[in-house]
Amino acid sequence: MKKLILILLVLAGCGTKQIPKERDSQFMLDRLLSIEMAQFREPSFGGREGETSYNQLEEQKAWSGLYNQYKAKIEKGEPDIAKNLKYWLFIGFVAQTKNDGEISEAFTTDLMPVFEKNPEQVLTILKELPFLAPSAGYYLNNYFGFEDQRAEEKKGFVTKYTDLVNTTMGAEEGAKFLGYFGK
């Protein structure tokens, strides 16, 4: 009977815990600040009664789910794209800041198509929230060198978007942003 209860408890914990939509921004901030969220605390197996442990795997699953949720909203062209882009770019910022390889690798491949579909909106957000520019520049630049693919396309990308970057972000911020692509 004890084994059955243990198996049921393990199976019950296999699902991904969802973050209520209204808590997305709180989850992002907690992740950035390394603050544990109560919903990822669960009873410890084999520990003392009332003892809990933090389930980092469930937190990572929820974090990946949040990334995919905002990416899907952007790709579908859902209303309020500027807000969705801000949240998604912030997730990328947090991932780079926290050395989150899973999300950083996803951004390296996923940001370029989003940028090319919405260049003015992305650049406007980067002007408005300049702390997001270094991570966005990092991911866009890595797209060209990721696994040694597309390196020859980088020069064409920079040429294509230099005027728009400088017009949207201004000469000084535009030069900083283009600097992420090297020479």
pTM, 2 dp? 0.80
Domains: count for the chain: 1
Torsion, Cα 32 38 39 42, to 10 degrees, reads 120
pLDDT digits (tens, 9 = 90+) for 147-158: 556 767 888 999
Residue 127 covered by a domain: yes
Contact 40, 54 (CB under 8 A): yes
> Is 65 inside any structural domain?
yes
Q: Residue 89: which domain range?
A: 16-179
In a domain, 9, yes or no: no
- More confident: 51 or 63: 63
Model confidence over 7-48: pLDDT tens digits?
223 323 334 444 445 578 888 888 888 787 777 777 777 667
Q: To 5 degrees, how large is the angle CA 60–CA 66–CA 151?
A: 85
Q: What CA–CA distance (Å, rounded) separates 39 from 15?
A: 13
159 vs 151: CA distance, rounded Å: 14
55 occurs within a structural domain: yes
Per-residue pLDDT of 90-148, as tens digits, reads 999 999 999 989 999 999 999 999 999 999 999 999 999 999 999 999 999 999 886 55
Contacts of residue 174, defined as CB under 8 A and 6 or more positions apart, other chains included, come to: 162, 165, 166, 167, 168
Q: What is the enclosing helix (H) or strand (E) of 154?
A: helix 154-169
